[in-house]
Amino acid sequence: SVDASCWIASLNGDCIAVNKKYMDTLQVSLEDCLGYGWVKMVAPGQDYISKWNNHIREASLASFESVFRGRAGKGIKTFRSSVRPWLDHDFSHLGYIGVLHEIKGEPDFVTHLRRATNGG
């Protein structure tokens, strides 16, 4: 058993597996996560999806930060997603393995988004 929020994506970037901790952390179902269903959980106003797609095209991933919404848009949590290539025993690239780490406090763009939404 792993006490971390983990996910696996294929070479084309769609999510193919998550563990229970991942679903519990984001308060979502398996169906919400698989394929590109996770896109609905990304908070508006960020370029996470374009960054992810660029990383897929380059086949090179690094850690990056993203803001996810809870169920039905309630609650905003910030996570750093540590991503590494998933390789087989012959070092063939199969996809990506990631772990979410919750970040306490708000990133600057969330503060900016809230100020803009509330009129300053």
> What's 18's domain CATH number?
3.30.450.20
- pLDDT at position 25, please? 84
Residue 21 has pLDDT above 70, yes or no: yes
* Per-residue pLDDT reduced to its tens digit, 66-79: 666 655 555 666 77
Residue 81 has pLDDT above 60, yes or no: yes
- pLDDT at position 62, please? 57
- pLDDT at position 86, please? 86
Q: Which two tokens stand for residue 9?
A: 């994506």
Give the CA-trace dihedral at 45, 14, 7, 28, to 10 degrees. Answer: 60
Cβ-based burial of 86 (10 A; exposed 0-12, middle 13-18, buried ≥19) = middle
Residue 47's pLDDT band (boundaries 50, 70, 90)?
Answer: confident
Q: Which amino acid is at 66?
A: S
5 vs 104, higher pLDDT? 5
Which residue segment(s) compose the domain that 69 sits in?
5-117
Whole-model pTM: value is 0.71
d(CA 47, CA 45): 7
